[in-house]
Amino acid sequence: MAGGLTLQDVSLRFGGVTVLQDVGFAVEPGQILGLVGPNGAGKTSLFNCISGHYRPTSGRVLIDGAEVQGARPATLAKHGLARTFQHPALQLRATVLENVLLGAHTRLPGGALEWAFRTPRTRRAERELRAEALALLERNGLGWAAHLPADELSHGLHKGVELCRALLMRPSLLLLDEPAAGLSHGEVEQLITTVRRLRTDDDITVVVVEHHMGLIAALTDRVVVLDHGAKLMEGTAAEAQSDPRVIEAYIGKDAAADDAA
């Protein structure tokens, strides 16, 4: 299992609007990289280019050396990529376990006909995936909720369910989009512990978009700072927090928001 990610001069334009401009960086297998920047900097658009929801206008996205820009999310899953979203997209009437099992779609053997006839192979695969999903929920402190409807859980627990769903895909590269948004202090601390464990125990490379700078400082090996769709700097979280360009980018955005208010 590897999980290396390389971006080379990735640009994204919608009509005459440039959203990303020549963004490039590399994430070595086993690293945790933070992608930070002011609101509107292009962080989620870049995630969408990596995860197959957008096709870059130009540039290259490589996972373990294989070009994947423009590939569909299902294809990217076969390259070891999984992703969570800022707002978890759960089936609220379904149980927590059923939501997690949705992450297994890329691992199901056989075709539609085999599943329609419920062959021994498909029944065995279903049992194995169900047991694996339950084990993931237990490992992440959600075993007690496995058979509850998802709408009975809090927003913070929804994020835990979505993470388990992504992990059921057995990724080598995991993209986390604002995983700390809406979490309590205790939940953020638990999130930090969980992501560290994913790196050390499961050998998963992690790229995280986050505004919670305490989490970024505690978790990441390096950060890439975006502003106005371009890479502003790359370095450690401490270097980013003391960089005058980064300070200006954040203060400038905050001042503009205050003026507008």
Q: Is the pLDDT of residue 51 over 90?
A: yes
| Over residues 252-257, mean pLDDT | 49
- Residue 85 maps to a domain: no
Does 259 or 198 have the greater pLDDT score? 198
Quick one: 163 and 203 in the same domain?
Answer: no
Range of the domain at 149: 90-170
Quick one: 238 and 261 in the same domain?
Answer: yes
- How far apart CA 58 and CA 71 sit, in angstroms, is 14
Q: Which two tokens stand for residue 183?
A: 């979490």
Measured at the CA of 208, the angle between CA 207 and CA 213, to 5 degrees, comes to: 135
Of the chain, the percentage scoring pLDDT greater than 90 comes to 66
Q: Is the pLDDT of residue 216 over 80?
A: yes
Quick one: 165 and 175 in the same domain?
Answer: no
- Residue 159 maps to a domain: yes
Q: Is the pLDDT of residue 6 over 70?
A: yes
Quick one: 124 and 59 in the same domain?
Answer: no
Domain boundary among 115, 147, 170: 170
Q: Is the pLDDT of residue 12 over 50?
A: yes
Q: Is the pLDDT of residue 257 over 50?
A: no
Of the chain, the percentage scoring pLDDT greater than 70 comes to 92
Quick one: 75 and 203 in the same domain?
Answer: yes
Count of residues making up the chain: 261
Q: Which pLDDT belongs to residue 181?
A: 86
- Quickly state the pLDDT bin for 261 (edges 50, 70, 90): very low
Quick one: 66 and 175 in the same domain?
Answer: yes
- Residue 224 maps to a domain: yes
Does 88 or 147 have the greater pLDDT score? 147
- Residue 44 maps to a domain: yes
- Residue 55 maps to a domain: yes
- Asked whether 38 and 2 are in contact (CB, 8 A), the reply is no
| Over residues 33-48, mean pLDDT | 93
Quick one: 58 and 180 in the same domain?
Answer: yes
Quick one: 62 and 96 in the same domain?
Answer: no
- Quickly state the pLDDT bin for 139 (edges 50, 70, 90): very high
Q: Which two tokens stand for residue 154?
A: 């809090």
Quick one: 10 and 73 in the same domain?
Answer: yes
| DSSP characters over 106-167 | GG--S-HHHHHTT-HHHHHHHHHHHHHHHHHHHHTT-GGGTTSBGGGS-HHHHHHHHHHHHH
User: 92, 93, 22, 102: which is closest to 59 by C-alpha?
Assistant: 22
- For 162, phi then psi, to 5°, come to -65, -40
Quick one: 136 and 214 in the same domain?
Answer: no
| Over residues 6-10, mean pLDDT | 97
Residue 101 CB: number of other CB atoms within 10 A?
Answer: 20
Domain boundary among 170, 201, 218: 170
Q: Is the pLDDT of residue 15 over 90?
A: no
Q: Which pLDDT belongs to residue 1?
A: 62
- Residue 138 maps to a domain: yes
- Asked whether 89 and 158 are in contact (CB, 8 A), the reply is no
Quick one: 95 and 159 in the same domain?
Answer: yes
Q: In this structure, what CATH number is given to the domain that contains residue 45?
A: 3.40.50.300
Q: What is the pLDDT of residues 57-98, one digit of tens each?
A: 999 999 999 999 989 988 899 899 999 998 888 998 999 999
- Residue 248 maps to a domain: yes
- For 70, phi then psi, to 5°, come to 85, -5
- Residue 131 maps to a domain: yes
Q: Which two tokens stand for residue 85?
A: 């979203």
- Quickly state the pLDDT bin for 27 (edges 50, 70, 90): very high
Domain boundary among 170, 200, 230: 170
Quick one: 179 and 251 in the same domain?
Answer: yes
Q: Into how many domains does the chain fold?
A: 2
Look up tokens 């490589």; give the residue: 62
- Quickly state the pLDDT bin for 124 (edges 50, 70, 90): confident
